[in-house]
């Protein structure tokens, strides 16, 4: 393995890890402006042109604020939890293909961090680890509101994890593989009978897509499922006692989770970097694939933001009822439907 090969592997893995947190800064600005637009007010427009410097200013503020660690907390767990949150959020993206496999200067470069045969399982493994970040924050803060927020959030995450995994199992069944590059590859081109419709998974598995997308809201603790953070009810839920950059870490982790959830939706149900009739060649093809992927992800991120400022918050029992009694049976029905489709396609 030459130095160039090693450098390529490192870049494949490290670049997304560095770019994702960087993307959060304009994302916060976008969220605040879109929120303002929906609420018929201007939003940040003083700091810099169109308020673009608002996010960097907030970052500087978070770095320079006093870091308060209350005495009664369990210090080790208190300090560990935010880093766990960021670690889980970033690691999930390691297996998502953000572009096609390109051939540049004689070297084959797959545009994915790690193209493992268990890609989808890795995503769910890391998502189940993110529960620890929240539950430990809630517990170690030694504070009623944090504990409530932490327990609610972890119960919510593990409940919706089931529906999300079963919906994704439908995609795995259709693709015949856990490898996310295989999932994208089977969505290339258009349908045979309906020539202009791309062969995206959302069309045969619309119910699965809805279940997955709604569960993604619950997994990322975004409205309408943000009772754990419940700004008006639980002070700030599980991150009440965190200040300055520790709170910043949770903030960062939440937005990275939103980006990764949108990326997963785009990959599983909307064809990832592929478009019908698009056969990428060389580095230009790679760049175009990356742009298509970024566009699809950006669209879903906008939907995340749009829903946040449109829908009211679910009450906790309504939330649990939705997850267990509505989404889980729907995802099982979707799985059954996909199995029928697979048998029908196989017998043709």
* Interface with another protein (CB under 8 A): 74, 76-77, 80, 116-118, 121-122, 124-126, 128-129, 131-132, 135-136, 139, 147, 151, 154, 158, 176-178
Give 118 or 290: the residue with its C-beta nearer to another protein: 118
State in Å, rounded, how far the first CA of the chain is from the last one: 45
Q: State the DSSP code for 49.
A: G
Give 121 or 333: the residue with its C-beta nearer to another protein: 121
What is d(CA 259, CA 22) in angstroms, rounded to the nearest whole number?
12
Q: Facing residues of 313 across strands? A: none
Q: In the bound complex, what is the minimum distance in angstroms from residue 156's beta carbon to another protein?
A: 13
What is d(CA 88, CA 271) in angstroms, rounded to the nearest whole number?
24
Q: In the bound complex, what is the minimum distance in angstroms from residue 79's beta carbon to another protein?
A: 13
Q: State the DSSP code for 332.
A: H
Give 139 or 160: the residue with its C-beta nearer to another protein: 139
Q: In the bound complex, what is the minimum distance in angstroms from residue 32's beta carbon to another protein?
A: 34
CB-count exposure of residue 299 (10 Å: 0-12, 13-18, 19+): middle
Give 61 or 345: the residue with its C-beta nearer to another protein: 345
Q: Which residue has the tokens 């090969």?
A: 5
Q: Which residue has the tokens 């500087």?
A: 60
Give 24 or 147: the residue with its C-beta nearer to another protein: 147
Give 88 or 111: the residue with its C-beta nearer to another protein: 88
Q: In the bound complex, what is the minimum distance in angstroms from residue 273's beta carbon to another protein?
A: 23
Q: In the bound complex, what is the minimum distance in angstroms from residue 143's beta carbon to another protein?
A: 14
What is d(CA 58, CA 187) in angstroms, rounded to the nearest whole number?
41
Which pair of structure tokens corresponds to residue 82?
């935010």
Q: Facing residues of 107 across strands? A: 104
Give 117 or 347: the residue with its C-beta nearer to another protein: 117
Chain-centroid distance, C-alpha 227: 19
Q: Which residue has the tokens 């953070």?
A: 229
Q: In the bound complex, what is the minimum distance in angstroms from residue 87's beta carbon to another protein?
A: 11
* Omega within 30 of 0 (cis) for the link into 224: yes
Phi, psi of 109 (to 5 degrees): -120, 110
Phi, psi of 317 (to 5 degrees): -70, -30
Q: In the bound complex, what is the minimum distance in angstroms from residue 86's beta carbon to another protein?
A: 17
């Amino acid at each position: 393995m030459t130095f160039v090969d090693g450098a390529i592997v490192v870049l494949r893995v490290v670049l997304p890890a560095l770019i994702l947190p960087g993307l959060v800064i304009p994302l916060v600005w976008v969220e605040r402006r879109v929120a303002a637009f929906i609420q018929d007010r201007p939003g940040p427009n003083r700091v810099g042109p169109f308020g673009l410097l608002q996010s960097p200013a907030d970052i500087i503020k978070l770095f320079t604020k006093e870091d308060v660690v209350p005495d009664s907390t369990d210090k080790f767990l208190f300090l560990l939890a935010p880093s766990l949150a960021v670690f889980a959020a970033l690691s999930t993206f390691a297996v998502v293909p953000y572009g096609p496999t390109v051939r540049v200067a004689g070297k084959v470069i797959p545009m994915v961090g790690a193209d493992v045969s268990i890609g989808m399982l890795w995503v769910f493994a890391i998502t189940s680890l993110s529960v620890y970040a929240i539950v430990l924050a809630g517990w170690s803060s030694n504070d009623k509101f944090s504990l409530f927020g932490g327990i609610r959030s972890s119960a919510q995450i593990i409940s919706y994890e089931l529906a999300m995994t079963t919906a994704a199992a439908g995609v795995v069944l259709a693709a015949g593989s856990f490898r996310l590059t295989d999932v994208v590859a089977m969505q290339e081109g258009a349908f045979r009978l309906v020539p202009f419709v791309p062969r995206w998974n959302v069309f045969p598995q619309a119910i699965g897509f809805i279940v997955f997308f709604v569960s993604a809201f619950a997994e990322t603790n975004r409205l309408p499922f943000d009772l754990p953070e419940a700004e008006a009810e639980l002070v700030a839920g599980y991150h009440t006692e965190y200040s300055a950059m520790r709170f910043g870490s949770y903030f960062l982790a939440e937005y990275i989770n939103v980006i990764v959830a949108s990326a997963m939706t785009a990959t599983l149900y909307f064809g990832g970097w592929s478009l019908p009739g698009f056969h990428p060649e060389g580095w230009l093809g790679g760049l175009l694939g990356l742009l298509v992927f970024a566009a699809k992800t950006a669209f879903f991120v906008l939907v995340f933001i749009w829903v946040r400022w449109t829908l009211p918050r679910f009450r906790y029992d309504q939330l649990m009822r939705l997850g267990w009694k509505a989404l889980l049976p729907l995802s099982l029905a979707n799985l059954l439907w996909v199995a029928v489709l697979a048998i029908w396609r196989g017998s043709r």
